[in-house]
Amino acid sequence: REDRRHIPEKDVRILLDAIRLPLNLEMSLADEIVWQTRLLQPPMVCIVPENRAERTTENGLAVRAEIERLRPVLESFSELGIRVSLFVDPVLEDIEAAAALRVHAIELHTGSFANAQDGNDATGHWEVLARGARRAHELGLEVHAGHGLGYGNIQMAARLPHVCTFNVGHAIVCESVLTGMQDAVHRMKTLIETAERNP
């Protein structure tokens, strides 16, 4: 974020130097953020929309509306070997636009699913996500999913077809305060691995 509310550059550098796990940097298209990302050269980024009034990202990137801004950024990242994912709502036209831009992956915005009021509502949002995941897979995109996922809804989310990565942050950090980070991560991983997958 431009306001660095979530993480400053120095902490990204520390993580890049210290960990040997895949690091995926969420970033906006703001010029300064793009410039800093080129300097940091993380292995992967996920481009998200940014609204300064939001506490957290509330919508997917409007890919079709941002194509001209995205193209030069994607080209520069490709030259540096940075893999790119776009955070998108499960809208087929935006998924198709992402594929046309030749990004490596999309991350499906699961906020509506995560905020569902009841089981029927969750099922409806799950079906929309599944349709988006299938289309992305058909187009050769790696499929990720995230936003608002937690211990209570991750098993249903983990049944989405073709999703290889779930981005879960807040729920794990909150749980880790009570159980420790290792146990919180292990519990989430177990829930994902034991979920019944759809073909």
Residue 79 lies in a domain: yes
pLDDT range class, residue 5, cuts 50, 70, 90: low
Q: Please give the pLDDT value at position 12.
A: 75
pTM: 0.90
- The answer to whether 27 touches 45, Cβ cutoff 8 Å, is yes
CA distances from 192 to 18, 47, 153, 154, 162 (A): 26, 24, 10, 7, 13
Q: Counting runs of H as helices and runs of E as strands, what totals does the chain give?
A: 9, 6
Question: Percent of the chain beyond pLDDT 70?
Answer: 91
Least confident of 10-19, 37-46, 148-157: 10-19
Q: Which CATH number covers residue 177?
A: 3.20.20.70
Q: How many CB atoms lie within 10 A of CB 14?
A: 12
Residue 34 lies in a domain: no
Residue 26 lies in a domain: no
Per-residue pLDDT tens digits for 79-103: 999 999 999 999 999 999 999 999 9
Domain count, the chain: 1
Residue 21 lies in a domain: no
Q: What is the mean pLDDT of residues 170-195?
A: 95
Nearest CA among 36, 53, 26 for reference residue 107: 26
Residue 96 lies in a domain: yes
What is the extent of the structural domain holding 184? 45-194
Residue 176 lies in a domain: yes
Residue 27 lies in a domain: no
Residue 23 lies in a domain: no
